[in-house]
Amino acid sequence: VKVTQAELNYVGSITIDEDLMDAANLIENEKVQIVNINNGERLETYVIKGERGSGMICLNGPASRKAAVGDIIIIIAYAIMEFEEAKKFKPILIFPDERNKLA
């Protein structure tokens, strides 16, 4: 996804359009890893619901220092499960367009 905002004066987190959260099966307050393709930065934070349909991807607080508006980031969520379940698990991957909209 493309970073649309960076808000330094905030407690911290990443705000994600609720449509994207639903598509990726993310929940509010879930811990995620952010990987910035533009500068190689990596960080962990938690998810805040953004306005549905807005395309919003906003890094808040200290996380805002790790990306600039327009940077492309990968948002990764992990799960803990039993070994046999993990062998059958299929991750959810979404690839929004340049406006962070789903096709």
Spans of all domains in the chain: 5-88
**Lookup result for tokens 């340049």:** 98
The enclosing H or E element of 1 equals none
pLDDT digits (tens, 9 = 90+) for 53-68: 999 999 999 999 999 9
CATH fold for domain 5-88: Barwin-like endoglucanases (2.40.40)
Whether 13 is catalytic is yes
- pLDDT, residue 12, reads 82
d(CA 97, CA 65): 24
Whether 78 is catalytic is no
Q: Which residue has the higher pLDDT, 7 or 12?
A: 7
- The amino acid that residue 67 corresponds to is A
Q: Mean pLDDT of all residues in the chain?
A: 97
Question: In this structure, are residues 17 and 50 in contact, taking their beta carbons and an 8 Å threshold?
Answer: yes
pLDDT band at 37, cuts 50/70/90?
A: very high
Question: In this structure, are residues 5 and 69 in contact, taking their beta carbons and an 8 Å threshold?
Answer: yes
